[in-house]
Structure 1
């Protein structure tokens, strides 16, 4: 449209519309870029959080492994003195807290190897035993520190019969089952005795 009396075309209206269109396109582009940038930052933040979480989990696993107890049972046999002892040593780096302990001999299970139980076992072996005073009850909650030992069975044979087994055969007649936890609450179950 031309201005009245000018006789020509008015480009100012088209220029105003063109400027408005360019401004709207610039606004749309700015909004789009802003959303894309926010989305990328969120993805980067989630990736960084995930990485930190993985590193924290790895450090936690490492701490758990370093503080893991490891109870190792062994028989100590002294043929000269006719002594048999079963000793458990914590060879791990963390304390072992006992949950339960059982000894199995001749099909019978004992929660503790006290004087009465030891006398029954010795009678079944056709031997007379004298205690060395070690009848530990590894009660629930008892802790064995790293490097520490616990004597589970100790007997001194004072009399044998011709039916008595040799001292070396006694370890094969017992099984010891010990359940314990690490300081992180990881349950560890160990059956040892016959093959120790």
Structure 2
């Protein structure tokens, strides 16, 4: 992804720690990153999506990560409407409340668009952020009681609450048929978790 970023300026994304040599992705994850970057360029002119760890070139253990071993995982910074908070992994949660500069509506749109590709397995985010997105989906009428068919419901199903993901979201794509040794995780329970 570092080579892609360098050869496609403006790419819409920036690998923030190239010295870690953890910027390798499967074709599916690379496709999703480029799609997210294109959405970012279109919806937020002048912003660049910040990409953290993906995977090492040949896979394997990567630092303290439990995943990031096979090119299916990406750590991505959240959107903030204060450009001083962009470019690094800034917490979108302050004392169990959503940070006032977190761009919830734009983040929600991004999540829905990538889930709609049918390539996303899970997106890990902090529970406070998921709760805010649940409330937003209900308030805008995108999510109604008992609904599990809408894009909003399916997006919330794939948003998994995880306390360590307050300063970035962790996106995992599904295994592809070309990855014969890849073991697909069980599908998330068919509930929004709201």
TM-score interval for Structure 1 and Structure 2 normalised by the shorter chain: under 0.3
More helix by share: 1
TM-score by length of 2: 0.26
TM-score by length of 1: 0.26
The structure with the largest alpha-carbon Rg is: 1
More strand by share: 1
